Amino acid sequence: MVGMQNFKNLRVYEDAFSLSKELYQFFDGKKMSFRTKEQLLASASSICANLAEMAAFESRNQMRQKVITFIGEANETEFWLNLTHETKILPQREHLQFMNKLVKVRSMLFNLKKNMEAD
């Protein structure tokens, strides 16, 4: 994939990084289970961290497998967002905002996977 070496130029990286940063800022100082906060922030930040890691791969099969991993991390992030919303830690408005951003990122990841399979 041409241009993968500079992961910071990928729109999906920018959006995933932004979501990760916004989640960190929102949940910083919130009273909640340490484990829940840790899991949510870890799954969200794993998306962009794995994109950065994938930029070093040369094998298309390795890259494809990594994209599947990010999609899994996006799904896990959705679980934690839903759990924090259902337990009244994350208000409705913020839940919708974060979910909209996550859905956009996940859609871009599915498109990346589709494009890799088409090449």
Please determine, for residue 5, whether its predicted confidence score (pLDDT) is greater than 80.
no
Give a yes or no: residue 93 inside a domain.
Answer: yes
Give a yes or no: residue 101 inside a domain.
Answer: yes
Q: How many domains does the chain have?
A: 1
Give a yes or no: residue 76 inside a domain.
Answer: yes
Please determine, for residue 1, whether its predicted confidence score (pLDDT) is greater than 60.
no
Task: Say if residues 9 and 68 touch (Cβ distance below 8 Å).
Answer: no
How does pLDDT run across 28-53, given as a tens digit for each residue?
988 888 899 999 999 999 999 999 88
Give a yes or no: residue 1 inside a domain.
Answer: no
Which structure tokens are listed for 15?
A: 């959006």
Task: Say if residues 106 and 74 touch (Cβ distance below 8 Å).
Answer: yes
Mean pLDDT across the chain: 90
Better-predicted residue by pLDDT, 19 or 1:
19
List own/partner pairs for 81-89 with CB under 8 A and 24 or more apart: 81/40, 83/36, 84/32, 84/36, 84/40, 89/30, 89/32, 89/36
The 10 Å Cβ neighbour count of residue 46 is: 20
Give a yes or no: residue 26 inside a domain.
Answer: yes
Residue with tokens 């919130």: 30
Give a yes or no: residue 80 inside a domain.
Answer: yes
- Determine the Cα–Cα distance for residues 103 and 109; give it in Å rounded to an integer: 10
Q: For residue 11, with 0-12 CB atoms within 10 Å meaning exposed, 13-18 middle and 19 or more buried, which class applies?
A: exposed
Give a yes or no: residue 99 inside a domain.
Answer: yes
pTM of the model: 0.89
How does pLDDT run across 68-90, given as a tens digit for each residue?
999 999 999 999 999 999 999 99
Domain boundaries, position 15? 7-118
Whichever domain contains 23, its CATH number is 1.20.1440.60
Give a yes or no: residue 2 inside a domain.
Answer: no
